Amino acid sequence: MVMTEHGALLPATEPGDTAPAAPAAEALAEVEEQMMELAAYVRGAMRDSALRIDPALQPFGLKILRTLRRCGPTHASALAEALEVDRSVISRQARLLEDLGLLELAADPADGRARFLAATPLAIQKMAAMPGGDKSLLHGRLAAWPEADLHQFALLLKRLNSPDGSPTGRE
């Protein structure tokens, strides 16, 4: 490992190695470090938000509730697909959320065997009563940014989140 002038650790390169040039590798290391800090901030903010709603609420349970608030009643399988988890994870969290009075199950009128998951009025009320209300975790940090910077940041995130990392954000 080699330490750069900005304190990033990079793998040492061997002759003939196809690794990025040092400045590009350093820039990639800086981006990775900042992404890890952002991820840690988001995890911490989710944990704190969940605790404000109920001390027993897990961060993933809050993610489920926010998705249900945004999308309305949803089948467990559709929720699992949207959140990219196994259906068993949704089932376990649904039981916990139901025990806390934050989730209710309703029969699907089109298929009596299927159930819709829905956030309860209590869950909606508690989420709305949180400091910042309905605003996203990053809203407070980004609200003062110039609009052009927000558009550029959104474009870069879209590119990063695209399957192939292409500049257009398309596959």
Kindly report, residue by residue over 51-99, the tens digit of the pLDDT.
Answer: 989 999 999 999 999 999 999 999 999 999 999 999 999 999 999 999 9
Q: Could you tell me what percent of the chain has a pLDDT over 70?
A: 82
CA angle 109, 96, 38 (to 5 degrees): 105
Q: Which stretches within 54-137 are classed as H helix?
A: 59-71, 76-83, 87-99, 121-128
Q: Where are the domains of the chain?
A: 22-132, 138-171
Q: Which CATH architecture has domain 22-132?
A: Orthogonal Bundle (1.10)
How far apart are the C-alpha atoms of 135 and 114, rounded to whole Å? 32
Beta strands in the chain (DSSP E): 2-3, 9-10, 74-75, 103-108, 111-119
Which of the four pLDDT bands, split at 50, 70 and 90, describes residue 169?
very low
Whole-model pTM?
0.70
DSSP lists the bridge partners of residue 74 as 117
Burial (CB < 10 A; 0-12, 13-18, 19+), residue 90, is: buried
